[in-house]
Structure 1
Amino acid sequence: MRLSLQFLDFDLSEDTDGLRSWSALASPAPAHSPALLAEVQSLLAQLTQQLGAPGPVDEGHVWDMALDTEVTHERTTVSLHLTGGAALDECLSPWISP
């Protein structure tokens, strides 16, 4: 089942050890800010439900994340970075696969 992301568009990078990082940046029109924030919350809740709480991967966590939100002149900008291995890749697949 494909789950739709309207605002977050992820770029994937992978290091030589197989650690993957997904990065997304979104800054929609102010009227869409609540929908963007709901999308981020839904995605993170689903990942937490499936993988447990995020935390440093090098300390044994399955995945980690960094979320930054900035509001400037009524416009909300969200930067979301996710890091993990195959388990995170599998959980993200329904959200970001073509």
Structure 2
Amino acid sequence: MDYLSFDLSEDTEGVTTLEALASTSKEQHGAVMAEVQQVLDWAWRSFPHTHGPVDEGMDWDHDLQVSVEPGGWHAVTLTLTGSQRFVEEFFARFGGPQD
């Protein structure tokens, strides 16, 4: 990944959140969205029937926000919540969280 780096947080109920934020020029926006699509394609392929609220027993859920900021910068936020199994496989595929 060249644009997305994921930060990790966990709540007291064992739900892990992975969040990535990228703010780029419009020329780089397509490359950012390609990385987002790569992550989501992997998640849908790897966990096709367990997308939904993790606190209801599903393996993963996601939220994608895209906006244009002042000065023409494109902001993309991809938030994934996941079970322990999802997060372990995510790290195996994409590497661990950024420090």
State the TM-score, normalizing by the size of structure 1: 0.84
- Pair 1:65-2:62 in alignment: yes
What runs of 5+ residues in structure 2 fail to find an aligned partner?
Answer: none
Q: Given the alignment, which residue of 84, 87, 96 partners 2:85? A: 87
Paired residues of 2:15 and 2:55 also in contact (CA < 8 A)? no
Q: CA RMSD in A?
A: 1.7
The one-letter amino acid of 2:16's match is: R
Structure 1 segments, 4+ long, off by >6 Å, are: none
CA distance in 2, matches of 1:22, 1:87: 13
CA distance in 1, matches of 2:95, 2:3: 11
Deviation at 1:32, TM superposition (A): 0.9
The one-letter amino acid of 2:60's match is: W
State the TM-score, normalizing by the size of structure 2: 0.83
CA distance in 2, matches of 1:37, 1:88: 21
The one-letter amino acid of 1:81's match is: T
1:60-86 deviation digits (Å, cap 9, x = unpaired): 321111110112343211011111111
What runs of 5+ residues in structure 1 fail to find an aligned partner?
Answer: none
Deviation at 1:58, TM superposition (A): 2.4
> Match of 1:27, SS?
strand
Identity of aligned residues (%): 38
Deviation at 1:87, TM superposition (A): 1.7
- Pair 1:24-2:20 in alignment: yes
CA distance in 2, matches of 1:6, 1:96: 13
